[in-house]
Every structure is written in C-alpha cells, then in structure tokens.
C-alpha cells in the first residue's frame, strides 16, 4: 500500500522580514538585502509549486513602510518594477497567477502599470495563486471593505465583510510564517489570520530556503487545529472521515 500523502497547507502566508539586517551584517546597503530577498522569494515560489501549495501570499511592502528613508522607499519601488520584468516570464512558464493586494492609488503610474500588466499576463494560470501584498495593511483592508459595503448600502456582517476584502479570492491562510525573529504580525492579514497556525523563524528572509520552508510545514503538520472545538471532537471527526 502506498504511504498516505503528507498534508501540505493549502495557503501559506509569509511576512518576509530581515532583508535590512541581512545587508547590514555584510556592510552592504539595505537595498542589497531587498535584492537578495527577491531571489529568496523566487526560490520560495518554486518550492511551493513543487510541494503542491495552492496559494502563497507574501508581505512585500506595508502601509507603514512609507515611513522609511525616502531612498529605501524609492529603491523598493524600482526593485518591484525590475523584479516583475525578470520574473513574470518565469511565473508564466510555471503556471503561476499573480495578484497584487493593497492600495495602488499612492503608487506611481509606472508601478501601477507594471502591476496591472503582470496580473493580466498571468491571469489564465492555475497551478499556484501568488498574492503579493504591496502597500497593504490589514487595517486598510478591513476599512476599505467596510467602505465598499457602506457605499453599496449593504449590511455589515462577517460574511459580507469577508467577501469585500482584497483577499476574498483565496481561502484564509492555514500557515502564517514570519522570518527575521520578530514575534509580531505588523498589520498583516488581521482578518484572515484568525485561525492560521503561526510559525516564527529566526532566519532572515534572504536566508529562508527550502529546508526552512519544509521545517515550517513539518511543524504545521504537528499542530491540532481545533477552530474552537475540543480535541476529542477534532480527533473523532478525522477518524470518521
């Protein structure tokens, strides 16, 4: 009899933190760390494809990251455009559908056009949904969803809010990873992470490799997800299925 396939989280979300420290440790400018971070992300997408993950959502630029020095902010905007030009053909070749999640209004016309073009050219792909949260904040998402409902005169319920969220096209994350050793959420997926399993890695994002991803998935497999029920109920449910 074939061994049962090991469970892989359907949706993995990652706060990619530690690029700046990675660069500073090497006496490099912080932007060098962000460049390495793009390479780590490219490897992570490939690893998720190989492991059969359905959705990968990453935090690339937060609503609060505008408060960084202006040269770092402009460097990140430039890096986004360059990375898209390089990576979109590869995403297409691998069946990856990219989405940008966040407030685009504050982004330059050039960046906005790059995002729209990347989404359009990968829209028919279905192997992996890849969400890049850029100028995103969990609070922004909840507020924009509430504003949408108010404008339509719709009642605010958990279901209607859920459907109006910028991440409504994917299920909630099963596993939420943060690299870089900080034990906080930093305004990421405040609504959707209600029942995500959390995993904090000491590795700085540019060093986060396949082994580190496998470790996070292995730890996830040991967790008992109860969603408010008792352990006995959960065990009973899985043994009768």
Tell me if 161 contacts ligand IPE by CB under 6 A.
no
Tell which one of 92, 112, 121, 186 touches ligand IPE (CB under 6 A).
186
As measured in angstroms, the least distance from the Cβ of 24 to ligand IPE is 7
Q: Is 17 in the site for Mg ion (CB under 5 A)?
A: yes
Q: How far is the CB of 63 from Mg ion (least distance, A)?
A: 14
Question: Contact region for Mg ion (CB under 5 A) — 14-22, 24-32, 72-80, 226-234?
Answer: 14-22
Q: CA-CA distances (angstroms) from residue 198 to 13, 77, 127, 177, 194?
A: 10, 29, 25, 6, 10
Q: Is 25 in the site for ligand IPE (CB under 6 A)?
A: no
208 binds Mg ion (CB under 5 A): no
Active site residue 17: yes
- Asked whether position 87 contacts Mg ion by CB under 5 A, the answer is no
- Residues 85, 189, 214, 225, CA torsion sign: negative
20 binds ligand IPE per the rule CB under 6 A: yes
Comparing CA positions, the residue from 55, 45, 44, 52 lying closest to residue 8 is 52
- Which range in 16-24, 32-40, 206-214, 222-230 contacts Mg ion by CB under 5 A? 16-24
Active-site hit among 17, 141, 172, 174: 17
Instruction: Out of 11, 12, 18, 172, name the contact with ligand IPE by CB under 6 A.
Output: 18
Residue 170 near ligand IPE by CB under 6 A: no
Q: Residue count at the site for ligand IPE (CB under 6 A)?
A: 17
CB atoms inside a 10 Å sphere around CB 237: 10
Question: What would the two tokens of residue 237 be?
Answer: 């449910």
- Which listed residue (45, 48, 55, 60) binds ligand IPE by CB under 6 A? 60
Quick check: is 214 catalytic? no
In the complex, which residues of this chain contact ligand IPE (CB under 6 A)? 15-21, 59-62, 65, 76, 180, 182, 184, 186
What amino acid positions are annotated as catalytic residues? 17, 65
């Amino acid at each position: 009899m074939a061994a049962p396939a090991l469970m892989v989280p359907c949706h993995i979300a990652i706060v990619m933190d530690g690029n700046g420290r990675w660069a500073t440790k090497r006496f490099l400018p912080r932007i060098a760390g962000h460049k390495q971070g793009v390479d780590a992300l490219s490897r992570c997408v490939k690893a998720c494809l190989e492991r059969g993950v359905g959705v990968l959502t990453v935090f690339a630029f937060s609503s609060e990251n505008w408060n960084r020095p202006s040269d770092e902010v402009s460097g990140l905007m430039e890096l986004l455009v360059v990375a898209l030009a390089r990576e979109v053909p590869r995403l297409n070749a691998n069946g990856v559908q990219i989405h940008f999640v966040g407030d685009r209004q504050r982004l330059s016309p050039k960046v906005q056009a790059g995002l729209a073009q990347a989404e359009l050219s990968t829209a028919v792909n279905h192997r992996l949904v890849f969400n890049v949260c850029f100028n995103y904040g969990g609070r922004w998402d909840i507020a924009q969803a509430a504003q949408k409902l108010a404008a339509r005169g719709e009642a605010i319920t958990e279901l209607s809010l859920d459907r109006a969220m910028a991440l409504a096209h994917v299920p909630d994350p099963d596993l939420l990873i943060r690299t870089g050793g900080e034990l906080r959420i930093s305004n990421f997926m405040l609504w959707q992470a209600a029942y995500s399993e959390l995993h904090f890695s000491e590795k700085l994002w540019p060093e986060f490799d396949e082994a580190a991803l496998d470790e996070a998935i292995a730890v996830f497999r040991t967790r008992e997800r109860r969603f408010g029920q008792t352990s006995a109920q959960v065990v009973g449910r899985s043994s009768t299925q």
